[in-house]
Copies of this chain bind each other. A is one copy, B any other.
Amino acid sequence: MAGNTFGTAFRVTTWGESHGTAVGATIDGCPPGLKITTQELQKEMDRRRPGTGGAASPRNEPDKVEILSGIYNDTSTGTPITLIIHNKDAHSKSYDHLAQIFRPGHGDITYLKKYGIRDHRGGGRASARETAARVAAGAVAKLVLAQKAINICAYTIELGGIKAGERDLTEITNNRLFCPDSQAAARMEERIAEVKKENDTLGGIVEIRAQGVPVGLGEPVFDKLDGELARAMMSIGAVKGVEIGSGFAAAAMTGSQNNDPLTPDGFKSNNAGGILAGISSGVDIVVRVAVKPIPSIAQEQDTVDLDNKPIKIKIGGRHDISAIPRIIPVCEAMMALTLTDHLLRQRAIAG
């Protein structure tokens, strides 16, 4: 049983390969009567596009999203919305030599062993290009959330070992790395430049915050909101860890430190990250994800070929130094898809 659908009430299925005709998303369950234009969706797409800066790949995709169904007179009708993003700038030839080799840190070997066949061009379905479809669908979800004044933003709090000190969210749009500490951002850029010379890559940590989420979202016991968010984030290729609120730090805290006391004005602290017993508590939802360094490096690495013979590999091509910042809108999209789904699910319960 395949797993290309996300969500229960607001269901998104993504499809398409990195070097195929197109990638796309089909949304089933979008509420009718929602104002949706390609212009609005395109804004989100543009945030995810490869830039020309140090960390970004020079692959130049316009990433133009088109609406194929479900919207009439710029308004959702309640029928499935299909969004398509054509692939334009795919250089499949540059992947030909990789058809016989497994790239370390990539899914080449697991895809082949799972399916007995793989579309090796550009990583096929395992490529980060698939996330373009998520961002498109997430843009629709954000419109649903906006109606309820729910807002999502993601930002870089660590990159290449450099941590953001300040958490000034107004600072995020002032630097290319979506970092709430512009001074740290500058040091991160230096680190990127450094590592680029070494033909290496970097990881980091992204924090995703949702504001305005009403109390009551999340379905105990297995579809707890934190569990759903953990899956959502971990379904992004580069993510290797997820934590909510105080997260791993909670492991070293005592109950009296970690509990969030209640007052008539609300919670005194937010170690819970906005989720109690799997249900949103009405305060900010705070999630952090660990982003691994991009595995495509231009250094020589040991690997094997299809016959399990040892071989050296050095990956050229057009690759980013870090999944950050391009992963930022993807993280936001996954948060938006999760919250929208649970918003609709809660309606079924509360009437």
Contact = CB atoms under 8 A, between A and B. Distances in A.
Contacts of A246: 240, 292
Interface stretch (A41-49, A51-59, A177-185, A254-262): A254-262
Interface in A275-330: 275-282, 290-297, 299, 301-304, 308-310
Contacts of A67: 21
Contacts of A109: 215, 262, 276, 281
A126 interface: yes
A60 interface: no
A268 interface: yes
A251 B124 contact: no
A26 B255 CA distance: 34
A1 B21 contact: no
A143 interface: no
A231 B241 contact: no
Interface string A115-128: 11111010011100
Given A255-B294, A264-B309, 14 more contacts: A2-B349, A3-B223, A3-B224, A17-B72, A113-B279, A126-B277, A161-B252, A198-B254, A222-B235, A231-B231, A231-B234, A240-B246, A240-B248, A344-B348
Interface of A: 1-6, 8-9, 11, 13-17, 20-24, 26, 28-29, 31-33, 66-70, 72, 75, 77-82, 84, 102, 104-107, 109-111, 113-119, 121, 124-126, 130, 158, 160-161, 195, 198, 200-205, 215-216, 218-224, 226-235, 237, 240-264, 268, 272-273, 275-282, 290-297, 299, 301-304, 308-310, 344-351
